[in-house]
Structure formats: structure tokens, C-alpha cells
A and B are shown apart, each in its own frame.
Chain A
Amino acid sequence: MKRFWMLLLYIILFAASLLWIYPYIWMFMSSFKPSSEIFTKFWPSHFTTEHYSFILKSAEAMQRPFVRALLNSIFISVTVTFAVIMTSAFIGYALSKINFKGRKTLVNFIIFQMLFPGFMFIVPLYVLMRALGLLNSLSAVIVPSLMSAWGIFMFTQSYKSVPNEYIEAAKMDGANDFWVILRLMLPLSRSTASIVGMFTFIGIWDNFMWPLIVIRDYNKMPLSVLLASFNKEYGSYVGPILAGSVIQTIPMVLIFLIFRKYFLQGISMSLK
């Protein structure tokens, strides 16, 4: 009797898992189907890459430069991810390993900062970007995200578990703080760096509302906004839209699958 229930549980879980990844499967399969078969057949008569070549080549003539947008997205996400990891690694070090006056207040301030939802800052931040003359440039997306209170907080927490003796030993050998952070603290906090990096990358790659607001020029749009605008104006090109969605999705899923171990860790870490 017990075995019957277990079997049933496994069947339900497998069915649910398939149901959950079904949208991905459908998107992926459909992006390779001939246009006339996307909505009519589950298994197409033949597979084709025409939608991909359309979106990567012909869409340029429709003022939707997808290759450019893909490069923009990569540039924005890589820059921001790198900057957030580096700044968090340095500032987290100061907040956990350097004994200076006012350190506690600063940590509390960073926690306080995290209480406020991002949407409160959208309008005034736009006004600031406009005043700085950064509108309609990649900087408008990059600059406001270079440092993250959450990233600093995560590093501060994880550095606490690194024994001070390590740092003292490294300093005995003549290492300065710069060296200590890059060669000692950062490698020891690899999992924190992965968690911060992964969530930052996914967050900025997926960001839609902010680039939609600050960028008007099709040549400077990240993929998410360009894909949305293509979908809005050329809605009947279902195949190319799905191909674009696949391209937009793949980096996020890849990063997730590569760092999945840290993802699970990250969840249990942020609960403490």
C-alpha cells in the first residue's frame, strides 16, 4: 500500500515537472517549426532555422537590430555583474574585517536601504539621469546598478566566517589589503561571489521596465526591450518572435544550470 502511494507521488511529480517545463519545450520546438505549423502541429513535418536567420539578419532592415541588442545586453550584464562583485568584495571587506569607527552604523544603514522597493526610485532616478545627460545611452542602464546594498551585505556576512588569522598570516608575508581581498577573501568566498554574480546577472539581463524608460534608440536597446517592441509591432511574425525569446532566455537558463548548486545555497543563506 505504501509503495502504491510512493509510485503515485512520483508519477504526479514527474507530470508536474513536465508541465512546468512545457512552456520552455513549446517555445524551443516552435522556434524551429515552419510558420504554418507552429499552432497546428506538435511534431512538425520538418525542422527549420529560418526564424533564427530572419531575426539575426532581416530584422535589421526592419529597424530591429537583434545582433546589436544581444551585444548590448551582454555588455551591460557583464559590466554590471563584474562591478557589483568587485565593489561588494571590497566594501564587504571594510565592513567585516576593518575595525573603524561607525562601522556598525554603516552596516545598519545598508540593511535599512534594502527595505525600500526599487519602484520608489524610478521617477526621480530618471530625472537624475536626464540631468546628467545619460538618457538614451547604455550608461543609463549600467551606472545606477554598479553597486548593490544586497551584494555588500552578502559579502559582509560571508567574510565573517573567514578566520582573522588567515589575514594576519597573509599580512605577515607582506600582503597589503588589496592583495588580501583579491587573492584570499574573494577565492575563499567563491560561493557568495557566485550567488551575487548569478542573481545580479539574471536581474540585469531580465530588467525590462528601467531600460524601457531610459532608452529610446533601437540601436542601444537591450534584448528584452527590443524583443518586446518587435513583438508589439510585428506580432504576426510568430516564428521570429519565438526565436528571439529563445535567444533572450538561453543565457539566463545556462547561468542558472551552471551555478545551480550555489542557487540552492543562496536560498538557505538569505534565510538566516
Chain B
Amino acid sequence: MKTLKRRENIKGWSISTVYLVYTAIFWGYPFVWLFVLAMSKWNFLTPRRFTWFNNFIKLFMDDEFWRVVINTFNFMLYFIPMVLVLSLLFAMALTKVKYFKTFFMLSFLVAYVSSGVAYSIIFSKLFAINGPLNKLTYSLFGVTIPWFSQPQLAILSISMMITWKFIGYYGLILYSGLVTIPKNLYEAAELDGANRWVKFWKITLPLLNPSLVMVLVLAISLTFGIFTEPYLITGGGPMKHTYTFMMMIYTNAFQKLNPGYASALAIVTALISFGCVILTRKLIEREVSYS
């Protein structure tokens, strides 16, 4: 018996060691170096100098950093309500229909598997000044809309693109939450004379809370990772209004050759992102009970 236990121990650890070694190299080592770099001044070539919290202090006095913070919340202001309402509508519509359900799901989900580069290119063409969308608005209303060259519109356009991409995925998460709500709750409410509106606010929304929180957390974390779309379409402009955390990390590390500053920025970005997620959970997460 004892030898069996030992054999299991040896076997378990020898398989796990492969993972642990790999993780130590490609996760642990970078993790430690992130903090070392964040407290250093370096340009990849000359010897590294330890500067304690200099990078962080510089960061908080950097106008560009605050611009990016504002931009990110500006993105969220458009993106989160849009994606939440639309994916909820999509999920609720799915619960109502009997036929073509798979077709509807797939049409929305196929956007989710679009390649970041390809769809950025396609949308930049579709939304271009001489593109199909502006042709349409021009023939209908006689106006062309500068989708990517007016600051607020550019943020809205990119939010719309990302919304397009994620509705199918988020909608499905909400849908699988909706189908677990027991039908008899609605029937009981109807007996009590509740109308649609009351049922939605008193039954659907509270019981959907876990799925809603999940979608919200995913959407918030996503906002902090936006890179491909603005990098390819607007280059961060106009007037740096679509400049994101990821672009700032990229530019500082690999174009201004200041990896220390970029690492400090990465840490701060992660902290803000965690903070937002924790705050949302505190504010809207509720215990769900079916009684």
C-alpha cells in the first residue's frame, strides 16, 4: 500500500514537473521581470539602472497616460451599454423562436470568430468616406459621416465594431442563463396579474444576475486589451482619442525603447482593470435564489 502511494506521488510529480518547469520559464520568470523592469530605466542595450518608483511617478504626471485613461472609459461608455442591451435582446429573442434557432446563433457567432486583422480592414473599408455605408447615408440623407476622423465618432465606430464581434458570444452566455430560469415563476407571476414589464424587472433580471455579471466582467476586461482595431484603423488618432493602453505599452516598449516605462504601465493597467472588475461585482452581483 505504501509503495503504491509512493508510486502515485512519483508519477504525479514527474508529469507535473514538466508543466512547472515550463511555467517557471515562460510565466514565473516574466512575472518577476515585469516588476524588476517596472522599477528600472533601460533601453534594451545599455546596462539597466534601478530607479525604484520613478517610472510610476513619471506615469502619473504623463498627460498621455491620463488621455488613455479617459479614452478607455469613453470606450466603455459606448461599448458596455450597447453590447449589454443588444446581447440581452438577442438572447431574449432566441428564447422566443422555435425555428431557425441555429441559423440565428451561427450568423451572430460567426462574427466572433472573425480575424482581428481582417475585420479591422473590412470595417475600415465599409466605413470609409467613399465606402458603402456613406454611399447609403448620402443617397438617403445627403450626408457623409466621418466615421473614423472625428474623435467621438471614431470611438463610437470602434465600439460598434467590437459590439458587432461580441454580441453572438455574450448573447449565448445570457441565453444559457435565461433557459435555466424556471417557467413556473412566470406562470405564478401571471396569476398575480404581473405584466411583461414587471416580469422582466422582477424575475428575469434578478435571476439572470450571474450571467449578466459574467458578460459585464468579460466586456470590461476586454476594453483594457483593445489593440488591433485602433492600431490598424486610426493609429490612435484623431488627436489621440482612440489611443489605448495596449497601444501605449506597445509604443513605449518597442518604438520609444523604454521597456521599464511600458512595464510600469502594464502593471497600472492590470490594477485599474482588476479594480473595475471588483467594483462592478461589488455593485451589481447578487445572490440568486429561486424561492
**Which A residues from 1 to 47 make CB contacts under 8 A with B?**
6, 9-10, 12-14, 16-18, 20-21, 23-24, 26-27, 39
Contact of A20 with B107 in the complex, beta carbons under 8 Å: yes
Query: Would you call the interface of chain A mostly helix, strand, loop, or mixed?
Result: helix
Whether B143 sits at the interface, judged by CB under 8 Å, is no
Determine the chain B residues whose CB is within 8 A of the CB of A14 once the complex forms: 100
Known: A10-B97, A256-B113. A120 touches B169 (CB 8 A): no
Taking A24-B110, A26-B122, A117-B221 as given, write out 5 further A-B residue pairs in contact, using a Cβ cutoff of 8 Å, ordered by the A residue number. A117-B270, A119-B270, A121-B34, A209-B246, A252-B115
Neighbouring A residues of B12 by C-beta, 8 Å: 94, 98-101, 103
Task: Say how far A101's CB is from chain B's closest CB, in angstroms.
Answer: 6
The interface of chain B, by Cβ under 8 A from chain A, is 5, 8-13, 15-16, 18-19, 22-23, 25-27, 29-31, 33-34, 37, 44, 90, 93, 96-97, 99-100, 103-111, 113-119, 121-123, 125-126, 130-132, 135, 164, 167-169, 172-173, 176, 211, 214, 221, 224-225, 227-228, 232, 245-246, 249-250, 253-254, 259, 262-263, 266-267, 269-270, 273
Q: 3 closest A-B pairs (Cβ-Cβ)? A: A100-B12, A17-B107, A124-B30
What is the distance, in angstroms, from A37's C-beta to the closest C-beta of chain B? 12
Complex Cα spacing A248 to B263, Å: 32
Q: Mark A67-87, 1 if CB is under 8 A from B, else 0.
A: 000000000000000000001
How long is the Cα–Cα vector from A11 to B31 in the complex, in angstroms? 52
Chain A residues near B135 (CB, 8 Å)? 39
C-alpha spacing A128/B27, complex, angstroms: 11
Bound CA–CA A176/B22 (angstroms): 25
Q: Which residues of A contact B (CB under 8 A)?
A: 6, 9-10, 12-14, 16-18, 20-21, 23-24, 26-27, 39, 87, 90-91, 93-95, 98-103, 106, 113, 116-128, 130, 143-144, 146-147, 149, 152, 177, 202, 205-206, 208-209, 213, 224-225, 227-228, 231-232, 238, 241-242, 244-246, 248-249, 252-253, 255-257, 260, 263-264, 267-268, 271
Chain B facing A: main interface SS: helix
Contacts of B33 in A (CB 8 A): 124, 127-128
Establish whether residues B13 and A100, one from each chain, have CB atoms under 8 Å apart when the complex forms.
yes
Query: Which of A87, A120, A202 has the largest number of chain B CB atoms within 10 A?
Result: A120
Tell me if B118 and A177 are in contact (CB < 8 A). no
Are A120 and B11 in contact, with the CB atoms below 8 A?
no
Q: Which residues of B contact A9 (CB under 8 A)?
A: 93, 96-97
Residues of A within 8 A of B8 (CB): 98-100
Q: How far is the CA of A144 from the CA of B259 in the complex (A)?
A: 19
B118 touches A245 (CB 8 A): yes
Closest to B120 in A: A228
Q: Which residues of A contact B164 (CB under 8 A)?
A: 20, 23
Contact between chains at A228 and B117 (CB < 8 Å): yes
Cα–Cα, bound, A153→B206 (Å) = 30
Chain A residues in 8 Å Cβ range of B221? 117
Find out whether the CB atom of B19 lies under 8 angstroms from the CB atom of A152: yes
The contact of A113 among B5, B27, B121, B253, by CB within 8 Å, is B27
Which residue from chain B places its CB closest to the CB of A106 in the assembled complex?
A: B16
**Residue on B nearest A263 in the bound complex, by CB:** B109
Residue in B closest to A225 when the chains form the complex, CB atoms: B117
Give the residues in chain B near A116, CB-CB below 8 Å.
31, 270
User: Chain B: which residue is nearest A100 at the CB level?
Assistant: B12
Which of chain A's residues has its CB closest to B20's CB?
A106
Q: Is A264 within 8 A of B172, CB to CB?
A: yes
Name the A residues within 8 Å of B224 (CB-CB).
117, 119
Residues of A within 8 A of B22 (CB): 146-147
16 pairs, CB–CB < 8 Å, chain A vs chain B? A21-B110, A39-B135, A91-B19, A94-B15, A98-B11, A100-B9, A101-B12, A119-B249, A121-B34, A122-B249, A123-B263, A124-B263, A202-B113, A228-B232, A231-B121, A242-B122
